[in-house]
Each structure stands twice: as C-alpha cells, then as structure tokens.
Structure 1
Amino acid sequence: MTTTEQAPEAGHPPLLRRLWRVLSGSVASALLWPRLQLAMKAALAAGIAFFIAPFMPGSAADYPYYAPLGALVAMYENVSGSMRQGVQTLVGLAIGIGLAFMLFSLGEPTPVTVAIVMGLGVILAGLPRIGSGSDWIPTAALLVLLVGGHDPDRFSFGYLVQMGAGVTVGIVVNLLVFPPLHFKAAALSIAELRLALSRQLADMATALKENWPPEHEDWSRRADSLAASARSVRLAVEKADASRRANPRRRLHPRDIDVDYRNLRDLEQVTFHVQDVTQVLSDVIWAEDTPFVVPDEFTAPLSAAMSAVSDVLRSPEEESPERQTELAGTAEAAVQELSRRMGAETVATEKPSAVESILLSLHRMLRVIRTSDA
C-alpha cells in the first residue's frame, strides 16, 4: 500500500478519521458488482459512440461529443429501462428543439421571448408518460438558442442525430453485454424477510417466558424496521421483474416472477400481523396505561404457539417439504389448543386479556401460510 492509500493513523484529528471512514464506505458501496458492471458498460458504450460519431451524415459529424452523452443517457440498470429512457430522452429533445424554432420564428431572441419559451418548456415537461425526457425539453431549447447561434438548423440536426446514435449504441450495449437479471437479489430479500419475521416471533415467545419486564427488549423496537424490510423486498421484486423485460438472458435463467409476487404479498400480510403482535405485547409489558394483560396461566401456551408459528415461517428456508408440513401441523395444533384452553378456563383478572388479540393474529398468519402453500 502506498503512502497516499494508507488510512489516517490514530494521531490524526478525529474529523479526519471520520472523513476517511465515510469515504472508504462510499467507495466500497460504489464498487459493488452491479454498479461496477453498469459503469463498464457505460464506458464501453460512450467509447463506441464517440468512435462512430465522426461518420454521421452531414453537419452531424461536427458535433461528435453529443454521441457519448446519448450513450450515457440510455444506460440504465435494465434493458427495458434503457429503451424507455432513451426513447423518452429523444422525444424530449425533439420537443425542446421545436420550441427553440418557435422562438426563432418570432425573430431574434430577447429576454422576454426566451422566458416565454423556457416557461412553455417547463409546462410541457409535465406531460404524462414522457418520463426522463421531461428534463430535456427546456434544456434542448436553451442549447439550440445558445449553441446553435445563427445556424440553428445545422446544430439541431447534428445534436439530434448524434444523441440518437448514442442512445442506440447505449441500448445495444446494454442489450448484448451481460444484461443483468436481478432474480437472486429478489429471492434473497424474500428469504431474509421471512427469517426476520420468524426471529421476531421467536424473540417475543422467549420474552413471554422471562421474568417481566424481560431483560431483552430489542424486539419491541423492530416494528418499523420490519415494515421497511417489507418495502425493500417489494422494490427488489419489482426490480427483478423489470430486469427480465426485453432481456435475452431470461430464456437461459427462467424464473416465475408471479411466485415472487405471491410470496411478497403473503409476507406483507404476515408482517402486518407480526407488527400488531409486537405492539400489543409491548404495550402489555411496558405501557402503564394499557387496558390489557396476559394472564400468567396463558404465558406458557402462548409462548409455545408463537414459537411454533415462528418455526413454520422459517421452515421454507431450512427444512424439507415434509418437515414443513409437519411443523405447520404442530403450529395449527398449538394455536387450537390455546384457543380451546381459553374457552374452557375462566381467569379472574382486573383487566381484559390480550391473548385473544395475539391468538387471532397467529391464526391469520397460519391462514396466509396455508393459502400460499395451496
């Protein structure tokens, strides 16, 4: 390691050490393989676009630097997005160039006419379905006014042709050079959420068996993080779905995205119920004004039922189908046994029992799991 690459030593000011950690983390994040792959393809597309730019017809050859810009504009994390973004950009450029020519038809540009055209450009940028091309409408109009000068026809033709050539190169490179499929990330995110929900139930089951208030209370603060995890899983599945569109590699790596969406919807429902149980149990344990309690007679069977449902949630990632079926049956029996005991036993308490609410959530979780396995 050279001197310039060495991390700041302990003797350096704390601010410098913190800055080094931030920069090191940013570099590590930026060099993740998907981003590095996209950067390499963008570099390749820009180089090819700049190479062919001088061979464009007529005055377009005089503006070669717009070709690599078009290639970068069209470079997206998936093929369908690359096509969509490239076409939207060209549409936005064409509209912007048309606005500029409308200004020229009014005579020499003045501050008033420029302001009018820019205002119209911003209004047109709000057109539906124009997407990323919206930003290019006022930009293209202004470039024609400023760079086109006294020969806007020549500049506009070269600008649009070179950008079109670059966009085409970017789409082709993204299509042919290892177009990414994000199936693995979607599968991993689904598995991680399933295990996180299982762990949450298991931790709450453990808390029920501890002396109250329990020593371990980190589970009570996970409700928001579980919701955030569910949102991240949805984004991952949607990203995987988008990556397969117009992607030739999907034939070599087939995957039923509908199954991922179904698993996602099921886990979102389970997440809601786990959050509800988390809130109810947290209030029972720590909230002073809660109107509910968990009677001592039911803590052990409730803990067993929650633990059994936790095992069912975890089983698709760790167990065979036969074992999954066995665990599901055990969980159903535990929930039914707890329901039977609640109906058969009368417990005298000053406050209503919260067990019914938790039991209903567990029943709904198992119903979601049953439906997903059917």
Structure 2
Amino acid sequence: MGFTRSTASTDPLLGSRLHIAVKAAIAAAVAWQLGNLLPSPIGDYAYYAPMGAVLAVHPSVAGSVRESVQIFVALVMGAGIGAVFHVLPVPGWAAIGLLVLVAVILAGWDRLGDGRSWVITAALFTYILGNIDTSDFVSGLVGQVSLGAAVGLALTLALPPIPARIARRHLDSVAADVSEQLEGMAKVLRGQTADPEQAWLEVAREVFPDALRLRESFLALDDSLRGNLRARRWRDHVGRRRADAEVVERVAALVENLTYMLGEVQASPRPWLRLGGEAAQSVADTLDELASVVRRLVGDEPIQGSDVQPLAVGVERLSVLVRDTADHGETSFPGAAVVVSLRRILGVLPVPESEEVASPIPPLRAPRRR
C-alpha cells in the first residue's frame, strides 16, 4: 500500500514575500533616481541600477551582502571577457561561441553562487551592446548595477526582516500534523471508523518532507540574524524555538515510520491487533498520550517530566504486553517494533535530566521458562 500526501509549501520564507517585494520596489525606485543623477557616461545606463537593486534585496543582511559581492564580481568578470573579445581579430560568430565557452567555464566558480549567470550576461551585453564605446558600456553596466546593489543592501540593513513568525507557523503546523496522525491511528485502532483499511490510507501520509521544510525555515531564520542590528534581542528566543524544531523534526520522522509500519501490518491478511480489543485500546491510549506530548512541545512553556510521565507509563504497559506474547512467534514482532519506536521517541524528548520520567524500563525479552 502506498502513502503519499504532503501539501506544505516548498518555500521556507512563504509569508515574508510581501516584505521583500515592498523593499525591492522601493530599492528599484531609489536606484533609478540616483542612477539618473550620475554624470555621463555612467548616467546614460541608469536602467541597470533598478536591476542591481532588485537582485541585492534579500531576506537577510548576510544574504544581501553575499549576493551583492557575487553579482559585482560576476559582472566584472563578464565585462572583462566581453571587452577582451572586442579587440580580438575573430569573426562575430566565432567570437560569440568562444565568448560563451569561456564565460560558462568561468561561471562554474563556486564562490560566485547564484550570481554566476551574470558572467555570461555581462560578457554578451558588453560584446554586443558595447560596440560604440566598450569602456563606457562597461563602466555604465558595472557602475549602475553596483549602485543599485548598494541601495538594495542599504535598505536591507535598515529594514532587516526576522521571519520568526513564519518559522513558528511551520513548527506549529508540523507538530499539529504529527499529533493528528497519531490521533488518527488511535481512532482506527479503537474501531471507530467504518472502513479501517481506507482509514489507514487516510491517516498515513508523508510528514517528514514537511519537517525538512521546517528545518529550512529555521536555517533561513538563523541567516536573518547574521549582521542584523536586532539580532541580540531575538537570539535567545530563536535558540529555544530551534531546539523545539529539532525535536519535532526527529519525532516526525519516527512517527511517520511508526504509522507506515502499523498501517501495513493492520491492513495485511494477518493484522497484529484486533481493532477495538484490549491490546489495541492500550496502543491507542499510548498514541493519544504521545500526541498530547507533541502538542506541548510547541507550547510557550518548556516541557516537563510530568508531561511525559503518562507516555512513559503507556510504553511500559506495552512493553509488558509484548513480553507476555513473546511466545506467539512472528505475531509479536510488530508489537516489539512499536515499543522500540516509542522508546526512541521518549529518548529525544527534551526532559531535564534531573526529572525522572518513569521507573527504569527493562529491555524486551521473552518470559523466563520454568
């Protein structure tokens, strides 16, 4: 049986785009005005200034600096290539081919990052559009794009976004998805669905891809603090939420694996649990406790040992149940896998070491024969 369902956006900064769009618009307008104030010949190419401004506007100060430098270096490299081919005694068609060959090779330099495409663009623009006065065109292109990039960078420095709310929404969304998945499994195990096989198909879905996007959103949040004048005020808050996100990400991966395993076993001709039975009820109660813990993970207060205690008791109860059925051979294997998964989840929960969650849980083993 195949389970795939994931609807989250692939954009870790979705929600801050309006902020970026407004900054880009302002930067482009300011760059255009300033570009037209420059003396000729640089001022004759003012239409390149808004382009540089838009390219330099970035969600983070560090990203804006990085991309501005990359664009400037790529432009200088490309303009230099175009200027060199202007003076070479090579036919136009051959010059274009060789120019592109050289530009593409040089654009492979890793340090250029996303600005690498400007090596080829600047080289072609310089060769094709700089026929009248190559030096004027090069100075105009590089100067105006650099001016625009400086405006974009300055605006990013003045109005740096901190997408903490976006990262928090992603964190809450993933935690809610995991909790709903656990509660959905518990409902099926209690026999509260009309069509259990269809219910497993609806409950089981890919959660880990969303968790990976959660990680990307916190990486973007970390990047937004670099060079940000407001970083000190936000650093502790972001650190706490990043720790929560790391736990939720790991729990999501384990729960997804647990969901697939239970769904496949219960939908097979030899299901492990009788839906609605005492054992299924015990597993369902434990899954509900885990769902409750996952919801508390993203609360405003740190999770405590008392929050995890009912879950640990439930895992112990399941451990005893599995040990008591160890003589049943392969039919007890899924139970052991469930207990192992739940133990792993308990191991990643951020409970202070000083707080005892539960009495030591003995390892899984078969009852001693007399």
TM-score, with length taken from structure 2: 0.82
Q: Which residue of 2 aligns with 1:45?
A: 27
- 1:362 match: 342
CA offsets, 1:328-355, max 9 Å, x none?
Answer: 1111112112212332456757844411
Matched, 1:121 2:103: yes
Deviations 1:87-143 (A, max 9, x none): 111111100011112212313652112210111111111111201221111111111
**Alignment-derived partner of residue 166 in structure 1:** 148
1:276/1:286 Cα in 2 relative to 1: closer, same or farther (>3 Å)? same
Identity %, equivalent residues: 27
Separation of aligned partners in 2, 1:72 and 1:373: 50
CA distance in 1, matches of 2:319, 2:82: 74
Contact 1:56–1:162 (Cα < 8 Å) also in 2: no
Q: Are 1:139 and 2:121 counterparts?
A: yes
Partner of 1:73: 55
Alpha-carbon distance in 2 for matches of 1:134, 1:153: 22
Tell me the SS of whatever aligns to 1:126. Answer: coil
Q: Does 1:334 align with 2:317?
A: no
Change over 3 Å in CA distance of 1:341–1:40 after alignment to 2: closer
Structure 1 residue 310 corresponds to structure 2 residue 252 = no
Deviation at 1:265, TM superposition (A): 2.8
Following the alignment from structure 1 to structure 2, what is the Cα–Cα distance between the partners of residues 239 and 76? 11
TM-score (norm 1): 0.82
**Which residue of the partner structure matches residue 8 of structure 2?**
none
Superposition map of 1:246-325 within 5 A: 246-288=227-269, 293-294=272-273, 296-317=277-298, 324-325=304-305
> Structure 1: which amino acid aligns with 2:285?
A
Choose between structure 1 and 2 for higher RCO, CA contacts under 8 A separated by at least 6 residues: 2
Over 3 Å counting, the alpha-carbon distance change for 1:320 and 1:77 in structure 2 is closer
Kindly indicate whether residue 165 of structure 2 is the aligned counterpart of residue 184 of structure 1: yes
Aligned partners of 2:299 and 2:227: how far apart in 1? Answer: 34
Question: How far apart, in 2, do the equivalents of 1:41 and 1:319 lie?
Answer: 32
The amino acid that maps onto 1:106 is: L
Q: What is the number of equivalent residue pairs in this alignment?
A: 340
Q: Please give the secondary structure, in 2, of the residue aligned with 1:180.
A: coil
Per-residue deviation, residues 1-52 of structure 1 (Å, max 9, x unmatched): xxxxxxxxxxxxxxxxxxxxxxxxxxxx9xx863232222222111211212
Task: Assess if the C-alpha contact under 8 Å between 1:306 and 1:362 holds in 2.
Answer: no
Report how far residue 56 of structure 1 moved.
Answer: 2.6
Q: Does the 8 Å contact 2:59/2:161 carry over to 1?
A: yes
Q: Is the 8 A contact 2:248 2:294 kept in 1?
A: no
Contact 1:189/1:233 (8 A) holds in 2: yes
Name the stretch that deviates more: 57-66 or 357-366.
57-66
- Letter of the aligned partner of 1:329 in structure 2? Q
Write the distance in 1 (CA, Å) between the matches of 2:178 and 2:309.
19
* C-alpha distance in structure 2 between counterparts of 1:108 and 1:353, whole Å: 75
1:50-81 residue CA offsets vs partner (Å, 9 max, x unmatched)? 21223335521221111122111212222222
User: Over the residues paired in the alignment, what is the CA RMSD in angstroms?
Assistant: 2.8
Q: 2:204, 2:259 within 8 Å by CA — same for their partners in 1?
A: yes
Alignment of 1:25-40 (within 5 A): 34-40=16-22
Contact 2:244 2:297 in 1 (8 A): no
Letter of the aligned partner of 1:366 in structure 2? L
Aligned to 2:139: 157
Report which of the two has the higher share of helix: 1
**Correspondence 1:208-227 to 2 at 5 A:** 208-210=189-191, 214-215=195-196, 217-218=198-199, 220-221=201-202, 223-227=204-208
- What is the letter of the counterpart of residue 283 of structure 2? L
Structure 2, unaligned stretches of length 5 or more? 1-10, 355-370
Are the equivalent residues in 1 in contact too, given 2:82–2:99 (CA < 8 A)? Answer: yes
2:187 aligns with 206
Is the 8 Å Cα contact of residues 185 and 203 (structure 2) preserved in structure 1?
no
Cα displacement (A) at 1:257: 3.7
In structure 1, how many angstroms separate the alpha carbons of the residues matched to 2:145 and 2:134? 16
In structure 2, the CA distance between the partners of 1:107 and 1:73, relative to structure 1 (3 Å rule), is same
In the alignment, the residues of structure 2 paired with residue 350 and residue 242 of structure 1 have an alpha-carbon distance, to the nearest angstrom, of 50
The alpha-carbon distance between structure 1 residues 220 and 319, as it changes in their structure 2 partners (threshold 3 A), is farther
